[in-house]
Structure 1
Amino acid sequence: MDVELFPQGRAEVAPGAVHVPHWLDDARQRALLDACREWARPPAGLRTVRIPGGGTMSARQVCLGLHWYPYAYARTVVDGDGTPVKPFPAWLDELGRRAVADALGPAAVPRDPYDIALINFYDGDARMGMHRDADERSAAPVVSLSLGDNCVFRFGNTETRTRPYTDVELRSGDLFVFGGPSRLAYHGVPRVHPGTAPAGLGLTGRLNITLRVSGLDMRDG
């Protein structure tokens, strides 16, 4: 592992939004990467997301639990191969709940389980525009885990996609949690730094694993 001259420390970026560097150790990063590679296989695998108006997202995505498409959830990959979405494993719920407790304190851990994962893969040219995670019915904190290349994560406000915002460097193994007054803040990834992934991880590019509580009835169509 590379040793930093000035190691990053945990930081509250906004009320209810906390960055915890190096939250996943090397072994847990490798285990999570292995799981992501399995989830990315078809059916219901990694896909290019098409947005209304005909454009596409530059980051490719695979979903667990429920399938997200702009701007709703479904039980099948309605904008892809049409197959049932892959199940959300119980160990990811446990990971999400532990992340919230570590970042925001035990009182912030949601009563309902985490049941959705959106996994985005960024190559060196991929970006993510400013957006809000507003398609869930739950106000539970969002848990974001990073693997691979460093990126600039732009965390904004709840009113506009523009300033004020704060740019945070997210590295492999970092945790970012946002809830409470920041749950619906705009955020995005304006750039990725290719070639910055840990050499021992074996990943070219960046993976972001985002865990959410849907608040949706799984029986809903």
Structure 2
Amino acid sequence: MLPHKFKERAFMWYHSLPLVDQIQIRASWTTLKAAISAHFMNSTWIAAQRTKAQRMRFKDHGNSDELPIDYVLRKKMHLTLITPMPFDQLIHEIIIGAPAGWQTILRIDDLGGQWTEFINRVHNHSQALIDAKSGANILKRVENLEQRRSHVKSHFSNPKKSGKFFKKDKKGKFKSVSREAKIGDRKDLPKPNFNPAMR
């Protein structure tokens, strides 16, 4: 009997029940499953599992060596652990956690609702899917570099920012201006009486 194989908290929970309830819930797999679900799989637990499944990504933390098929089966198991999920929604959730390019490589638009066909394609195109992960990382790095470059350009082209330390010369190029105060720059001070021509 399965209840006798329970461990730790499950063991304590089952043996804390009155004998009448123990007999009732172990009458069949359906009654036992219902009792376990009612106690352990409450709404908070279900929400946490759903969030965990939705956040799964290919080669995420702790799964750096996984193959594409490992990711697909892992995510499917967690997504359908609680309730069945329509095929299209299941594929959508799996692709969300995959690198850009998987959708095109696997041609998900013509699967026709066939899970077996989907996992066969994942297995057959395994190397291309792994390469898509590397390509996505390179693309992200290029995008980050472009953003930094545009930020630098905007700093030098913005007159409000550049006016303090840079000024345009006659050719329109920016030149650095010393930030140290010059004699006579402050209007609240009198002009110096020093005449360099007189000695």
TM range (shorter): under 0.3
**Bigger helix fraction:** 2
Q: TM-score, normalized by length of structure 1?
A: 0.22
Return the structure number with greater relative CO, CA threshold 8 A, min gap 6. Answer: 1
**Bigger strand fraction:** 1
